[in-house]
Amino acid sequence: MNASTNFANSCVTDPESLNRYLASAVVYGLVLAVGLPLNSLSLWILLRSHGWRSPCAVLMVNLAVSDLLLALSLPLRVYYYATLHWPFGPITCTAAIMLFRINIRTSSIFITLISVDRLIALVFPLRSRSLRTSACAIKCCAVVWILIISLCIPEIIKLHGALKMCSKIPCFEMQSGNSRAVPISQAVFLLILLLVNIVSTVVVIIVLRKRPSAGSSKVNNKMNVILIFVVNMLVFTIFFLPFTLQLLMYNENNGQVIRVLICLASVNCCLDPLIYYFSLDSFWQDSGKRQTDAGTYSLSRSMERSCSREQLG
207 is in which domain, residue-wise? Answer: 17-281+292-307
Determine the Cα–Cα distance for residues 113 and 58; give it in Å rounded to an integer: 11
pLDDT band with cut points at 50, 70 and 90 for residue 26: very high
Burial (0-12, 13-18, 19+ Cβ within 10 Å), 167:
exposed
Query: Is 312 within a domain?
Result: no
Total domains in the fold of the chain: 1
Amino acid identity for residue 306 in this structure: S
Determine the Cα–Cα distance for residues 117 and 244; give it in Å rounded to an integer: 25
Query: Is 4 within a domain?
Result: no
- Check: CB of residue 76 under 8 Å from CB of residue 88: yes
Q: For residue 188, how many other CB atoms are within 10 A of its CB? A: 12
* Cα-trace Rg, the chain: 22
Mean pLDDT of the chain: 77
What's the CATH number where 264 sits? 1.20.1070.10
Express each pLDDT in 48-89 by its tens digit: 887 788 888 899 899 999 999 999 999 999 999 999 889 898
Among the ranges 229-238, 246-255, 302-311, which has the highest mean pLDDT value? 229-238
Express each pLDDT in 238-260 by its tens digit: 888 887 777 677 655 566 777 88
Amino acid identity for residue 49 in this structure: S
pLDDT of residue 68: 92
Dump strand ranges (E) for 128-271.
none
Query: Is 7 within a domain?
Result: no
Determine the Cα–Cα distance for residues 227 and 280; give it in Å rounded to an integer: 12
Determine the Cα–Cα distance for residues 103 and 71; give it in Å rounded to an integer: 10
Express each pLDDT in 284-304 by its tens digit: 443 434 433 434 444 444 444
pLDDT of residue 74: 93
Determine the Cα–Cα distance for residues 101 and 93; give it in Å rounded to an integer: 13
Q: Quick check: 181 pLDDT over 80?
A: no
How far are the Cα atoms of 99, 120, 179, 311 from residue 23, in angstroms, in the given order? Answer: 21, 43, 29, 62
Query: Is 10 within a domain?
Result: no
Residues 208-219: what's their mean pLDDT? Answer: 60
- Check: CB of residue 74 under 8 Å from CB of residue 31: yes
